Structure 1
Amino acid sequence: MTTGEVLWALRAECPIPARLSPHADRVQQWLLGLLPELGLPLDEAALHRLARGGFARYAGRLYPDASEADLRVLTALFTWFFLVDDACDGPHRLDPAQIRALRDGTLALLHGGPRLRHGGLTGPLRRLLVLAWREPRRRMPARWRLRFADAVARHLDGTWREAVNKETARRPSVGEYVELRRETSAAEVSYPLVEFVSGRPLPDPVYHHPLLRQVARTGNDLLSWYNDIASLDRDRATSGGHNLVLATQAEWGVSTAEAVDRVAERWRESMRQFEALRAAVPSFGPALDEAVTDHLDGVAYAVRGTIDWTLESARYPTNA
């Protein structure tokens, strides 16, 4: 099977139903009007690429019940993370010191608010994050804001470690890569946003319950490994081995096709585990069960939404 055929086969096997916000396409048009106003250097070709990337549709698949106003917030946040990803992983990528400064500047804004400035986060990226963070900062309690900022810190720390590996030509083993990928994927950043949409933040002991953490970690693996198969052609040239297919190929000395098959089979096994884990989550009482269900659904939508968006977005070589 070709890589594309594997991606479509895994989509057909995914038991999670697909959903999409009815506001997604309108919010995508809003985004395309917003970005030039923030000072991003976007010519017509760049705007076309952003339009075909469909970041609002990605957010709309992960948060299908969000209001149109909240989907704008989520789309702005998603766009910020994709722009940061491009800055850290593109042909003119930031070096590790610059990524560390970006991390520090981002956390200064998330913790201290828009009046606190830091040299690591400036210009259009800062303006976009200020805009995107305004409503979550206003509406959500301090414990949620801290949890979200901690997730962002872990993501950017992982991005920094990957950059260090690339600079030193260090290729991770499969085990090392799986752990690092859980940070660089930003899935853990997306999970608290379920509570922003629902307005029902989970208490920390529930959010960090071992079984819920295992569900979240397995969902993270599923969306990350699917993405690795989709981005294989691009990553082969730019990732320095930071792709589960490439790490599997190197560790086991197999062909690319065999490595893709092994990753796909690992994905299938993790999907079976994911479904069993979700079914095993206990009741936390009538005051919390609805919020817990929202959280579990949000993790599942992140998996299925990543699959569907990957197959429609021009961000990946098979759809460009």
Structure 2
Amino acid sequence: MVEELLWSLRSACPIPPRLSPYAEGVQDWLLERLPRLGLPLGAEALHRLDRAGFARYAGRLYPDASEPDLRTVAALFTWFFLVDDACDGPDRLPSEQIRALRRGTLTLLHDGPRRRHPGFGGPLRRLLVEAWRAPRRRMPARWRLRFADAVGDHLDGNWREAVAKESGRPPGVDEYVALRRATSAAYVSYPLIEFVGGRVLPDAVYHHPLLRRIGALGNDLLSWYNDLASMERDRVTSGGHNLVLALAAERNVPVAEAVELVAERWRDTMGHFQAQCRAVPSFGPALDGPVATHLDGVANAVRGTIDWTLESARYPLHPHP
């Protein structure tokens, strides 16, 4: 039932799909590069990474990126997914280690690779050092701060989720939605639109209330779609951290009914997302182009997540008949 619903929502999505022509080549580059950084990846692990298709995911979100920039973004995506597995997998890190990982990551992003932190080392650090090299060299200080703030918020969300799981306390719906916006890493993906596009929006525009609202709606859309796809796995491992499970518990309804409630909520939010995008005002001739690129990037994050979810072996769904 859930799989058919996912395909139905994809068909109803008004955002057109896009994919970089460099995606497959960057995927090959990624699989060749990762073992050189010391990541413990045997043949089976590399096969899983290949079938997960993180470079293809990056290629769906940033279809106009140059090949070198897509390599950078794909490496960053891989880092975030490896961190996600460490924080949320069956052998997940305890909350204090996640907090130390956050501190070490922010030390690297703020101060550069020469500054070290005891909570963050090894191959995972080497991967981030390599992936961060081009953005750190090319992008202005205000963008680097913007990106680091988003990463800090994401890792703080992972820590808060780990604390809740350790306490055995499932979240309510409103609490979960707010936390999910951090754990999804969508807010990390938005500054990368500027990295691949080569134009940084002024802070007053990037943080404009309407653009922030559109970013939150896009985050919800991709997060809730992901929750539907991962719901069966999350019933075992998430401690209630899934919108379907949170709704089922809060409203005291069967999970099957909660699935339909999430789908209805997703459709309503998509309509609101489209309306809000149409309502964005002009910021002047010099900024309207970059703002349009930003909005397209948020939309690509939604549609790219949908398409990648249905094709990636990370979510073993059956092909649509």
TM-score relative to the length of structure 1: 0.99
1:201 aligns with 200
2:171, 2:240 within 8 Å by CA — same for their partners in 1?
yes
Partner of 1:240: 239
Is the Cα–Cα contact under 8 Å of residues 109 and 117 in structure 1 kept in the other structure?
A: yes
Matching of residue 15 in structure 1 with residue 14 in structure 2: yes
Q: Which deviations, in whole Å up to 9, do the C-alpha atoms of 1:255-279 show, x marking residues without a partner?
A: 1111100000000000000000000
Partner of 1:297: 296
1:91 aligns with 2:79: no
Quote the sequence identity (%). Answer: 73
The answer for the alignment partner of 1:260 in structure 2 is 259
- What displacement does 1:6 show? 0.6
Is 1:224 matched with 2:223? yes
Q: Distance in 2 between matches of 1:276 and 1:318?
A: 31
Counterpart amino acid of residue 261 in structure 2: R
Partner of residue 65, structure 2:
66
The runs of at least 4 consecutive aligned structure 1 residues that moved more than 4 Å come to none
Match of 2:56 in 1: 57
Following the alignment from structure 1 to structure 2, what is the Cα–Cα distance between the partners of residues 91 and 177? Answer: 20
Q: Please say if residues 180 and 223 of structure 2, whose CA atoms lie closer than 8 Å, have aligned partners that are also in contact.
A: yes
**Separation (CA, whole Å) in 2 of partners of 1:171 and 1:317:** 26
Match in the other structure for 2:106: 107
Matched residue of 1:191: which SS? Answer: helix
User: What runs of 5+ residues in structure 1 fail to find an aligned partner?
Assistant: none
- How do 1:167-178 residues align onto structure 2 when only pairs under 5 Å count? 167-178=166-177
Question: Contact (CA 8 Å) 2:173, 2:243: kept in 1 or not?
Answer: yes
**Which residue of 2 is the match for residue 282 of structure 1?**
281
Output the amino acid matched with 2:223.
S
Task: Give the C-alpha shift of residue 58 in structure 1.
Answer: 0.2
Write the distance in 2 (CA, Å) between the matches of 1:319 and 1:211: 38
Deviations 1:80-99 (A, max 9, x none): 00000000011111001000
Taking the aligned partners of 1:204 and 1:299, their CA distance within structure 2 comes to 17
The count of residues paired between Structure 1 and Structure 2 equals 319
Q: Is the 8 A contact 1:313 1:319 kept in 2?
A: no
Structure 2: which 5+ runs fail to align?
none
1:4 aligns with 2:3: yes
Distance 2:285 2:144 in 1: 25
CA distance in 1, matches of 2:117, 2:20: 35
Contact 1:27 1:68 in 2 (8 A): yes
The one-letter code matched in structure 1 to 2:157 is G
Amino acid in the other structure paired with 2:248: Q
Q: How far apart, CA to CA, are the structure 1 residues paired with 2:115 and 2:297?
A: 32
Give the superposition deviation at 1:108.
0.2
2-structure distance, mates of 1:65, 1:317: 28
For 1:63 and 1:120, locate their aligned partners in 2 and report how far apart those are by CA, in whole Å.
31
* Mapping of residues 156-167 of structure 1, within 5 Å: 156-167=155-166
Distance (whole Å) between structure 1 residues aligned to residue 177 and residue 90 of structure 2:
24
CA distance in 1 between counterparts of 2:297 and 2:96 reads 34
Q: Deviations over 1:58-97 (max 9, x none)?
A: 0000000000000000000000000000000111110010
In 2, Cα distance between equivalents of 1:184 and 1:161: 9
Distance in 2, matches of 1:318 and 1:59, equals: 20
User: 1:234·1:317 contact (CA, 8 Å) conserved in 2?
Assistant: no
Which amino acid is the alignment partner of residue 15 of structure 1? P
Aligned to 1:307: 306
Q: CA deviation at 1:319?
A: 5.3
Take 1:32 and 1:122, find their aligned partners in 2: how far apart are those partners?
21
Q: In structure 1, how many angstroms separate the alpha carbons of the residues matched to 2:260 and 2:267?
A: 11
Displacement of 1:241: 0.2
Aligned-pair distance for 1:317? 3.2
Helix, strand or coil for the counterpart of 2:91? coil
Q: Write the distance in 1 (CA, Å) between the matches of 2:200 and 2:114.
A: 26
Secondary structure in structure 1 of the residue aligned to 2:285: coil
RMSD after superposition: 0.8
- Counterpart residue number, 2:178: 179
Distance 2:41 2:138 in 1: 32
Partner of 2:123: 124
2 CA distance for matches of 1:34 and 1:120? 24
What is the deviation of 1:43?
A: 1.2
Q: Counterparts of 1:136-147 in structure 2 under 5 Å?
A: 136-147=135-146
SS of the aligned residue for 2:317 comes to helix
